[in-house]
């Protein structure tokens, strides 16, 4: 669920993923975009400055005769500037997010924001799960799916990559497969350079 006016978005059923790139905000590290899908496959959400507005409500589009539902998103920064938080149904339960630990000696974390990706998914019991990570350092990440209807121990696997011109591609899939084959996006052709006469 995050970041950019040119968001690359992967969404299917109850899955929403966005890539972290600066938006047009005074402090781009405060920019966040929430992209979600209701049970009728209707997308909703939006972008906002979570430093100015840490708690934001989004109306969920009417679906199957149910209207008036909201999703609440809360995002924060710890002392060293690392972002954490997430979204949940307005009727609860409200998750308890623990601030990530800062590195020793109070060093500020300055990750490559173009490598930051956030994965937000929902199981069949409408429980959100996922998290944010640096896919350049960890291209394959597993997320445990919360127990639902007596089923536990399942995982979602996410794999993201960058090509030579920094275009991001990849996605998520169930641990048991099938594993999608992601085509690497093409890079724009280099502009023809004028011949130099000697």
DSSP state of 114: G
Residue 4: per-residue pLDDT: 33
Name 137's bridge partners. none
Provide the 3-class DSSP secondary structure of residue 106: helix
Residue 125 in domain:
yes
Higher pLDDT pick, 72 / 97: 72
Provide the 3-class DSSP secondary structure of residue 26: coil
Residue 160 in domain:
no
Task: For residues 177-182, give the mean pLDDT.
Answer: 85
Strands 15-19 and 9-12: what pairing? antiparallel
Q: What is the mean pLDDT of the chain?
A: 76
Higher pLDDT pick, 29 / 56: 56
Contact (Cβ atoms closer than 8 angstroms) between residue 57 and residue 68: no
Residue 51: per-residue pLDDT: 87
Residue 58 in domain:
yes
Please list the helix, strand and coil fractions of the chain in percent, rounded to the nearest 5, in that order.
5, 40, 55
Task: For residues 170-175, give the mean pLDDT.
Answer: 88
> Per the structure, how many domains does the chain have?
1
Higher pLDDT pick, 127 / 20: 127
Tens digit of pLDDT for each residue in 126-141? 787 888 888 888 888 8
**Domain housing 120:** 9-98+110-134
Residue 103: per-residue pLDDT: 75
Q: Among all chains, which residue has been given the structure tokens 């938080």?
A: 85
Residue 167 in domain:
no
Residue 122 in domain:
yes
d(CA 73, CA 118): 14
d(CA 68, CA 135): 36
Q: Which residues are within 8 A (CB) of 192 and not within 5 positions of it... i.e. 6 or more apart? A: none
Tokens of 73: 């998103």
Residue 47: per-residue pLDDT: 83
d(CA 87, CA 120): 8
Residue 32 in domain:
yes
> Using alpha carbons only, what angle is made at residue 13 by residues 9 and 19, rounded to the nearest 5 degrees?
20
Q: How confident is the model at residue 43 (pLDDT cuts 50, 70, 90)?
A: confident
């Amino acid at each position: 669920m995050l970041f950019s006016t040119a968001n690359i978005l992967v969404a299917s059923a109850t899955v929403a993923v966005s890539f972290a790139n600066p938006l047009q905000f005074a402090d781009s590290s405060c920019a966040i975009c929430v992209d979600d899908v209701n049970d009728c496959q209707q997308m909703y959400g939006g972008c906002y400055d979570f430093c100015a507005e840490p708690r934001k409500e989004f109306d969920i589009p009417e679906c199957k005769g149910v209207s008036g539902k909201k999703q609440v998103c809360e995002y924060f920064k710890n002392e060293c500037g690392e972002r954490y938080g997430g979204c949940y149904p307005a009727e609860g339960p409200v998750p308890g997010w623990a601030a990530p630990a800062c590195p020793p000696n109070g060093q500020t974390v300055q990750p490559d924001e173009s490598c930051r990706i956030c994965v937000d998914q929902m199981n069949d019991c409408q429980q959100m799960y996922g998290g944010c990570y640096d896919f350049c350092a960890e291209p394959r990440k597993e997320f445990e799916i919360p127990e639902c209807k007596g089923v536990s121990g399942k995982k979602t696997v996410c794999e993201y990559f960058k090509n030579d011109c920094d275009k991001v591609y990849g996605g998520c899939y169930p641990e048991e497969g099938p594993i999608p084959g992601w085509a690497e996006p093409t890079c724009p052709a280099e502009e023809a350079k004028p011949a130099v006469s000697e």
